[in-house]
Amino acid sequence: MNQRLEKIWDWMAQESIALIMFEDCEERRDQSVRWLSGHPGDALLFISLDRKTLLVPWDLNLAKIYARADLIIPYSDFDRLPVKAIQGAAKKFGIPVGSKIEIPPVTPYPVFLNYVGELTDFDILCHERSAALKVKKFRAIKDGEEIKIYRKAAAITNELIELLEKNVRSGKIKTEADAAMLIELEARRRGCEGTGFETLAAGPDRSFGIHAFPPWTNAPFAGPGLSILDFGLKLGSYTTDVTLTFAREPDAKQEKLLTLVEKAYKLALSMTDNSIPTRIIAAAVDDFFAKAKKHMPHALGHGIGLEEHEFPAIRNRADNNWLLEPGMVFTLEPGLYDPLHGGCRLENDILMTETGPEVLTEAGIIRL
């Protein structure tokens, strides 16, 4: 935690910011509170320029077990009001009058005005170029502790991939619900906290959507045609993210989709290396699909971590300036979708190492 906080303190010194508030609550979730303090959720975290931290949790019992902070004061001591918590933090840390105090950039404007009206002794900052954004960029590079968690989470994910294929082939999985509930049960049996996001299980009649709605039903799964299964396992608060496509008796047009997606995945992986702009990889996949007169309606991939979608961005967009670096964990997930013939996506989790990409998971297109 100290190495993570050091980066924030250095940035605060450069920006002359005396106090920063991070907020993780029902209205405005921010997993950076977990990343910086270890607390699993529902808390305010204050970081002062003089290298001190204050955690203000909803649940003091959980904080005593999981959190690491110089001070821990229950939210109830501040009448469960963030303005009073800021005032309390400023007093505890001796923040000088006129100092800059930064609140989260997602704070609604009326709430920001309330802070400004109540905290007249300070310069309240609420802007896009914020500590919250800086921390999210820091989170893109996983440290040794995080990578260790990912290797274990990926190993469990691979166990479930093998089990899912086995149960589909044996006929034990007949419906989308069968697949989704097996993942939930087996994940927890193996020590996971559950799934990192709601499982997407779409049988042949529903696989045409990028993200099926609803995410899963009791409809048939893995019957004739294309079925998509997108899931992630949460371990130590970090989530994996993989997608399998089950193909049973595909027709010629479905087989073309499968082949194109497999080739696109191999192309993307072959281009993946340190210092490579992620936009170049995504553009190459887009061009590959375009030559086949196909279009992928989503990004090629994304970073993963405490959330299912994190930095780095892996997409063909003008504002994407990310370069791959050692320590990044991200997905590659080319996909094609047809309203008549169904969809196909192949997604694996990749760790960038000093020597290149390491594929952590073993998802693929499973032909039945």
CB 23 within 8 A of CB 82: yes
Residue 56 to residue 23: CA distance in whole angstroms: 10
pLDDT reported for residue 2: 84
* Distance set, CA 222 to CA 160, 185, 229, 256 (Å): 16, 20, 10, 18
Question: pLDDT tens digits for the chain (368 residues)?
Answer: 689 999 999 999 999 999 999 999 998 999 999 999 999 989 999 999 999 999 999 999 999 999 999 999 999 999 999 999 999 999 999 999 999 999 999 999 999 999 999 999 999 999 988 999 999 999 999 999 999 999 999 999 999 999 999 999 999 999 999 999 999 999 999 999 999 999 999 999 999 999 999 999 999 999 999 999 999 999 999 999 999 999 999 999 999 999 999 999 999 999 999 999 999 999 999 999 999 999 999 999 999 999 999 999 999 999 999 999 999 999 999 999 999 999 999 999 999 999 999 999 999 999 99
Considering the domain 2-138, what is its CATH architecture? 3-Layer(aba) Sandwich (3.40)
Residue 142 carries which side chain, given as an amino acid letter? K
**What is the pTM for the complete model shown?**
0.94
pLDDT reported for residue 52: 97
Residue 90 to residue 18: CA distance in whole angstroms: 9
Place of tokens 């899912």: 164
Token pair listed for 301: 């991939």
What is residue 62's DSSP assignment? Answer: H
Residue 40 to residue 32: CA distance in whole angstroms: 10
Token pair listed for 240: 């994996």
Residue 131 to residue 362: CA distance in whole angstroms: 36
pLDDT reported for residue 360: 98
pLDDT reported for residue 22: 97
pLDDT reported for residue 41: 87
Question: 150 φ, ψ to 5°?
Answer: -65, -40
Place of tokens 């106090």: 19
Place of tokens 């939930």: 184
Mark out the alpha helices in the chain (DSSP H runs).
2-15, 32-37, 60-66, 82-93, 109-118, 131-139, 144-170, 176-189, 252-271, 278-291
- Among residues 292, 285, 283, 302, the alpha carbon closest in space to that of 338 is found at 292
* Distance set, CA 87 to CA 29, 104, 148, 149, 176 (Å): 22, 16, 39, 37, 51
- Among residues 96, 89, 104, 107, the alpha carbon closest in space to that of 47 is found at 89
CA atoms within 13 A of residue 209's CA, in its CB half-sphere: 13
What kind of fold does domain 141-367 have according to CATH? Answer: Creatine Amidinohydrolase (3.90.230)
Three-state DSSP at 142 gives coil
Spell out the domain ranges in the chain: 2-138, 141-367
Residue 153 to residue 360: CA distance in whole angstroms: 9
Question: 89 φ, ψ to 5°?
Answer: -65, -45
Burial of residue 279 (number of CB atoms within 10 Å: 0-12, 13-18, 19+)? buried
